[in-house]
Chain A
């Protein structure tokens, strides 16, 4: 493909199709909106883009759908396949997660025994996360992305002990870990506590205290949290 070198084309102009389709980042979308508001010629071109978008959708929607033959052919081939062994490492986390997710918060809060089960399942779930993060599984693709920093069980960095609320479900915990850049590095220990790495380097005490305070503010997920070595 040739470079765009016949006439200067701005980056904003190149982004118009994605702006029309609504697939730009907020930042880029805002840049395009600002440019459109100040450039009538660009705005006119954007109308052409919207026209193309509309007609391309129309064109594709009139293509119809495949016949049942495609599905029949597919499932005939699948039926002919030998039964496969489950991918253990992948499904361990998925199954624990599915089962855990199936327990409603109300059910979990209903009895102490249910809470105990939840903590046990949490342990399994988080253990699954730890196993995955440490490369025990050769198969990735699960939903969980915890911290971007590798998480050794032992090593430098700043750590905290944390206990999750029994009613917190798997998705909430995973999201909480991801949002706060936490890596589970150990646990559970007595009291259903997990050791999490909050930073890859040794933070000053005040910084670590601030992070712990921030984590503690999420009462829906965190039951207890404290700085540790």
Chain B
């Protein structure tokens, strides 16, 4: 049981309480790191980015209005930072990375064995999705965000959240089919 709510911690951080900052960091930094890492695909860059995310929290805590959960606010900041970092890379580099996420692994003999493990292949295909699709799947499945919260984090209408998730799942099925696993959907 958490003895101090995130909202209370933010209030204390706004008044310059560094211990409250440590508690908030300890509570959320791993999930924020994983969210960022899945977007930027670089551990060192992800570490730098979460440091920036929480530094923004330190500076902006007084402006937090409590309209959303603190974790949703953190992910919104993290997403903005991650996309800004990605924009500094070239599109070519990004395309290569996305392609290699699948192609490199398909040449690996271990993947042949992994094909017997549907779960392992599914995880590889999840990694092979575009950043946009990875993001929404992670927000819904791993970060347990509602439709409204995803809409807030990503900055799109709720109806678009639902259809984007649908297409992300559809793309996942296509990737699985390419790798010999036909789920019979869509």
Contact = CB atoms under 8 A, between A and B. Distances in A.
Interface of A: 1-4, 7, 9, 11, 13-15, 17-18, 20-24, 44-45, 48-49, 51-60, 63-67, 69-71, 73-75, 77-78, 81, 83-84, 86-87, 90-91, 94, 98, 139-143, 145
Interface stretch (B31-39, B78-86, B106-114): B31-39
A141 B185 contact: no
Given A7-B186, A17-B165, A139 B63 contact: yes
Nearest to B66: A141
B102 to A, nearest CB: 14
Contacts of A67: 47
Interface string B158-172: 001011111101001
Interface string B22-50: 10010001100110011000010011101
Chain B interface mostly: helix
Given A60-B38, A90-B62, A70 B50 contact: yes
> Among the interface residues A17, A53, A58, A94, which one has the most CB atoms of the partner chain B within 10 A?
A17
Given A52-B169, A53-B141, A86-B15, A141 B7 contact: yes
B11 A81 contact: no
Given A15-B162, A139-B63, A21 B185 contact: no
Contacts of A145: 66
Interface string B117-146: 001001100110000000001101110111
Contacts of A18: 140, 146-147
Nearest to B142: A60
B66 A52 contact: no
Q: How large is the interface on B (under 10, 10 to 19, 20 to 34, 35 or more residues)?
A: 35 or more
Contacts of B172: 52
Given A57-B141, A70-B33, 4 more contacts: A1-B156, A52-B126, A66-B47, A90-B15
A70 B123 contact: no
A56 B16 contact: no
Nearest to B7: A143
Contact of B123 (A23, A55, A78): A55
Interface in B36-73: 37-38, 43, 46-48, 50-51, 54-55, 58-59, 62-66
Contacts of A91: 11, 14-15
A140 B185 contact: no
B92 interface: no
29 contacts: A4-B163, A11-B162, A15-B162, A18-B140, A18-B147, A44-B185, A48-B173, A52-B137, A55-B119, A55-B122, A56-B137, A56-B138, A66-B30, A66-B47, A66-B50, A70-B47, A71-B29, A73-B47, A74-B50, A78-B21, A81-B59, A84-B16, A90-B11, A91-B11, A139-B63, A141-B11, A141-B62, A141-B65, A143-B66
